[in-house]
Amino acid sequence: MSFLACPREKELAALLALGHWPHACSAELEAHVAACHACRARVAITQAFRAEREQAIPEPRLEPSGVLWWRAQLRRRNTAMERLSRPLLGAHIFAVVVALAAAGAYLGFELCHGATWFGDLSRALHFTALLPPALQNSPIAGIAMVLLVALATLAGGVVLYRASDR
Clarify whether residues 97 and 37 are in a common domain.
no
Is 69 inside any structural domain? no
- Exposure b/e, 3-17, CB count within 10 A at least 16 = b: eeebeeeeebeebbe
Asked if residues 112 and 143 have their Cβ atoms less than 8 Å apart, the reply is no
Q: Give 112-152 pLDDT, tens digit per residue.
A: 776 666 666 666 666 667 777 777 777 666 676 777 777 88
Is 44 inside any structural domain? yes
- Per the structure, the complete domain to which residue 97 belongs is given by 86-165
Q: Give 69-97 pLDDT, tens digit per residue.
A: 999 999 999 999 888 877 887 788 888 88
For the chain, how many structural domains are there in total? 2
